[in-house]
Amino acid sequence: HTSLPLVINTWPFKNATAAAWSALQSGGSVLDAVEKGCARCEMEQCDGSVGYGGSPDESGETTLDAMIMNGDTIEVGAVADLRRIKNAIGVARAVMEHTDHTLLVGESASVFAENMGFIAEDLTTNKSVNIFSQWLKGNCQPNYRKNVFPDPSKSCGPYKPRATVKQNIRAQHANTRSHDTIGMVALDQDGHVAAGTSTNGLTHKVPGRVGDSPIVGAGAYADSSAGGAAATGDGDIMMRFLPSYLAVELMRAGADPSAACKTAISRIKKHYSEFFGAIICANTSGHYGAACNKAPGFSQFHYMVSDSESDVPLLKSVDCF
């Protein structure tokens, strides 16, 4: 296909697209493109939802999830609940290239990163401290716990289970989009595909929470014999459906990318009609598509594309259904 190479990523993160594109143009691999693209967002703190200083958890800490996948070899490296290291996608790539493992988590992932030469720094910023202190002042609402009650002597927590009261506070803020992960797929002229993600997850998440982004087939998937896909949105729900894997498999079976993305969203919609989420995908001939679930406050999804037909990143949009 004439439009290859191709870079596609979630949200209007155009500097990330440009960084990935220029990695390809300067002879880099599709893995280099995905790594450079996602790293660009980590540095820029895209939307406050990628990289340091965003989405403080219940204890005020920013923790990062990321993954990268080689569609030729089906190798994957991922980190989840990564602390103190800004370049999560870089650590994910190090997991892939310097271990036989797929996913490292938490404190141990951070120690691994430090040993591999990544710099340990505080991921907290004035902004994240501010988000956290506002949340404490608001009596820790909203939060992601249910069927629990907090110690009344504390502003919030420690929480105790409460079997009898069903109270899902989450519904109250399901509409506030406090999370905009970068997910990226890159293809080169020879049909190599790579995909990756990077995110700081979800604001006020329970410490230890891991979203869909670092989970293979959920946050992203790549197979050079079919294509690649990446997802964004409410990871707690989306990871139950492996939407990126599904989209790639549908493309393998001959579905066009838009239809594949739509089916992946439909599968989730059947169970969670109002979930917030979107997916992008591209097949090996350089055709691409996207789909999103229509939810309160979310009717259109924006994403970026660079291909040989347009040297500059183009803003694309799809209407949610």
Phi, psi of 273 (to 5 degrees): -60, -30
Residue 292 touches ligand SD4, criterion: CB under 6 A = no
> Helix 88-98 crosses helix 106-115 at what angle (to 10 degrees)?
80
Which range in 17-25, 83-91, 113-121, 209-217 contacts ligand SD4 by CB under 6 A?
Answer: 209-217
Query: Which 140-179 residues touch ligand SD4, going by CB under 6 A?
Result: 179
Q: How far apart are CA 229 and CA 16, in angstroms?
A: 17
290 CA to centre of own chain: 15
In the complex, the smallest distance separating the C-beta of residue 100 from ligand SD4, rounded to whole angstroms, is 26
Which residue spans within 61-209 are E strands per DSSP?
64-70, 75-82, 103-105, 148-150, 159-161, 182-187, 193-199
Residue 61 touches ligand SD4, criterion: CB under 6 A = no
Residue 211 touches ligand SD4, criterion: CB under 6 A = yes
In the complex, the smallest distance separating the C-beta of residue 26 from ligand SD4, rounded to whole angstroms, is 29
Positions at the binding site for substrate: 209-212, 232-235
Which residues lie below 8 Å from residue 277, measured CB to CB, with a gap of 6+?
Answer: 231, 232, 233, 234, 237, 238, 243, 265, 268, 292, 293
From the candidates 17, 62, 181, 284, give the one annotated as an active-site residue. Answer: 181
Among 87, 110, 203, 213, binds ligand SD4 (CB under 6 A): 213
In the complex, the smallest distance separating the C-beta of residue 201 from ligand SD4, rounded to whole angstroms, is 4
Among 212, 223, 249, 307, binds ligand SD4 (CB under 6 A): 212
Q: Collapsing DSSP states into helix, strand and coil, what is residue 40?
A: helix
Among 12, 201, 228, 243, binds ligand SD4 (CB under 6 A): 201
Residue 180 touches ligand SD4, criterion: CB under 6 A = yes
Strands 310-319 and 300-307: antiparallel
Name the helix (H) or strand (E) containing 319.
strand 310-319
**Residue placing its CB nearer to ligand SD4 in the complex, 37 or 211:** 211
Closest CA to 67 of 190, 201, 187, 188: 201
* Burial tier of 190 (Cβ tally within 10 Å: 0-12, 13-18, 19+): exposed
Q: How many residues bind ligand SD4 (CB under 6 A)?
A: 14
**Residue placing its CB nearer to ligand SD4 in the complex, 95 or 278:** 278
Which residues lie below 8 Å from residue 270, measured CB to CB, with a gap of 6+?
Answer: none
Which range in 81-89, 101-109, 207-215, 281-289 contacts ligand SD4 by CB under 6 A?
Answer: 207-215
Is 63 tagged catalytic? no
Residue 233 touches ligand SD4, criterion: CB under 6 A = yes
Which range in 73-81, 112-120, 121-129, 195-203 contacts ligand SD4 by CB under 6 A?
Answer: 195-203
In the complex, the smallest distance separating the C-beta of residue 213 from ligand SD4, rounded to whole angstroms, is 5
Residue 232 touches ligand SD4, criterion: CB under 6 A = yes
Which range in 68-76, 112-120, 206-214, 285-293 contacts ligand SD4 by CB under 6 A?
Answer: 206-214
CA angle 143, 241, 179 (to 5 degrees): 40
First to last CA, the chain: 29
Among 87, 181, 198, 203, binds ligand SD4 (CB under 6 A): 181
Q: Could you give the residue numbers annotated as active site?
A: 181
